[in-house]
Amino acid sequence: MRVGSWVKWLFILPGFLIIFFVVLYPTIYLLYYSFTDYSLDKSVISFVGIDNYVKLLQDQFFINSVYVTFRFAVMTIPIEFALGLAIALCITRIRNERIHGILYPLSIAPVMLTPVVIGMLWLILLNPDYGLLNTILKSLRIPPIAFVSDPFWAPIAVALADIWQWTPFFIMISVAGIYAIRPEIIEAAEIDGAHGLLMIKNIILPMIKPLLVFALLIRLIDVFKVYDVIYIMTYGGPGISTEVLSFRIWKIAFLERNIGYASAWGVVLLLMMIFLANVLILAIRKVRM
């Protein structure tokens, strides 16, 4: 084999090894364990076929977790998308470099914080005794709300924290897309009389549409992995009102110590994410056509 061919494979090898050990190897083990009764309390692992999957489909906790996860996605992603795009449009219209240099970093700061910090911050903000939001309600003579301990308000509280954290993701994507539009296109549109909403509707949005679709669906896939904020703020409660799929899998694996059953849940979650990834690819292809 020629030297050039060896060099080519040497460059490919590190990437292949990373994909194998970080993605393929754990996935194979996940699939294998999902067909066993592997438990942290047992020393012997037995093959049980599809029993874990049959049990999962009959499990009311599974139905609840799927519902809670999709509800969480519906409550957060549309607001993050719309708010992020609106803020990005405002930021890109700021001509003063100093003001822009202050507002843009501030607007994207939350996405740089860890979910644990965000969860703790929102627990403080929503505290029924001394939280900022309840302090405002008290000043308006409105009774305080127990946001994280009420089954109705807990999903809203967690959604607020997620919106605050991930709206900056859409701000960054939208700002990058808007600044990537060639200035001569904007100038030509302005000469033709396109200003304000007309400019946004007919020029900016069509130009950044592929980028927005990509960001929207990437976020849709990512929301299925939410765990940290739920753990910190509500621990899946009250009851199971905020128990998303990822959090339920963690409980089965490490509290119930049933790795085999948790693996079956993990495989189903993985299949959902693969389905969404394919939707992502098809949507981007349609947008580009």
pLDDT at 110: 94
What values do phi and psi take at 36, rounded to 5?
A: -125, 175
Does the pLDDT at position 156 exceed 90? yes
pLDDT at 230: 95
pLDDT at 289: 62
Residue type at 176 in one-letter notation: A
Q: How confident is the model at residue 288 (pLDDT cuts 50, 70, 90)?
A: low
* Residue 9: how many other CB atoms lie within 10 Å: 10
Choose between 168 and 210: higher pLDDT.
168
pLDDT at 252: 96
Q: Are 139 and 132 in contact (CB under 8 A)?
A: no
Mean pLDDT of the chain: 90
Does the pLDDT at position 69 exceed 70? yes
What's the CA gap between 285 and 289, in Å, rounded?
6
What's the CA gap between 210 and 90, in Å, rounded?
20
What's the CA gap between 218 and 221, in Å, rounded?
5
Give me the mean pLDDT over the 158-186 stretch: 93
From residue 236, alpha-carbon distances to 66, 99, 157, 201, 269 in Å are: 13, 41, 12, 41, 17
- Can you say whether the dihedral through the CA atoms of 120, 114, 226, 231 is positive or negative? negative
pLDDT at 2: 59
Choose between 126 and 221: higher pLDDT.
126
Tell me the HSE value of 182 on the side-chain side, using a 13 A CA sphere: 3
Q: How confident is the model at residue 80 (pLDDT cuts 50, 70, 90)?
A: very high
Six-digit token pair at 279?
């939707």
pLDDT at 287: 63
Q: How confident is the model at residue 229 (pLDDT cuts 50, 70, 90)?
A: very high
Q: Are 43 and 130 in contact (CB under 8 A)?
A: no
Closest-CA residue to 30 (of 270, 243, 274, 250): 270
Q: Are 69 and 249 in contact (CB under 8 A)?
A: no
Q: How confident is the model at residue 86 (pLDDT cuts 50, 70, 90)?
A: very high
Tens of pLDDT, residue by residue over 11-46, are 888 888 998 898 899 999 999 999 999 998 888 889
- Can you say whether the dihedral through the CA atoms of 93, 94, 96, 102 is positive or negative? negative
Fold topology of 70-239 = MetI-like fold (1.10.3720)
What residue ranges do the domains of the chain occupy?
Answer: 70-239
Does the pLDDT at position 85 exceed 80? yes
Considering all CA atoms of the chain, what is the largest pairwise distance in Å, rounded to the nearest integer?
Answer: 81
Give me the mean pLDDT over the 270-280 stretch: 86
What's the CA gap between 275 and 256, in Å, rounded?
29
